[in-house]
A = this chain, B = another copy of it.
């Protein structure tokens, strides 16, 4: 029994053990994830014939079955992957770990409508979470951690930038509502609508559905658009310096001490 459990444990763990069966297992799951995303996209296209729709439904049932079996397997070996004092605690620890939740959301949208009445569209979007599993591929872990740690290093600066941006957006929408509200009651009926314009302008998206027509409004709009350059420049500069800082501190750890004066020499 223990031997069987151990072989399942080896199977579901990441394919870094060099065994061929692990790699195949990994690739099958990854392919199923990508294919199931594509199948959801295809499902939404009305032009697709009903024959193909039935095939897509069958594929959905098949992929959920595989994901469910995998989830049960992971539940079964949770005392090996998440060792605690007793079996039940291990199960809970796995279920509420990030990986466990991602795996759960990959199958839950299928079973939930069978139990309770729920908005199907919202559920379908939940299925997308399974896509995040691809980020777990070994190869990218190091880079993902680097990017994550840079963002964490600079989170305070980025938060301030974000807050100033928010302040700017709110201020701009207030001003714009007061300036353009009378002239364009359809485009700027209230401050929320004005906020929509502010975001579209500051991020330089500029759909063109809402834009100022008065002279003063255009002036404010131009100022906001120019400030949009700073809104891009600040986080970029912060993130850039974060990457350089991290690369430097990685190197500093490799530094050695001068045997003569006892100080660090690069």
Contacts and interface: CB of A to CB of B under 8 A. Distances in A.
A13 interface: no
A241 B243 contact: yes
Q: Is the interface of A mostly helix, strand, loop or mixed?
A: helix
Contacts of A161: 147
A79 to B, nearest CB: 32
A75 interface: no
A235 B232 CA distance: 9
Q: How many copies does the complex hold?
A: 4
A192 B209 contact: no
A128 B209 contact: no
Contacts of A165: 226
Interface string A19-62: 00000000000000000010011001110000000000000000
Interface in A185-203: 189-192, 195-196, 199-201, 203
Interface residues of A, number: 91
B191 A200 contact: no
Contacts of A82: none
A228 B203 contact: yes
B258 A261 contact: yes
Nearest to A139: B156
A230 B240 contact: no
Interface stretch (A4-12, A88-96, A100-108, A118-126): A118-126
Most buried by B among A37, A134, A171, A237: A237
Interface of A: 37, 40-41, 44-46, 121-122, 124-125, 128, 131-132, 134-135, 139-140, 142-144, 146-147, 150, 156-157, 159-161, 163-165, 167, 170-171, 174-175, 177-178, 181, 189-192, 195-196, 199-201, 203-209, 211, 215, 218, 221-222, 225-226, 228-245, 247, 256, 258-266
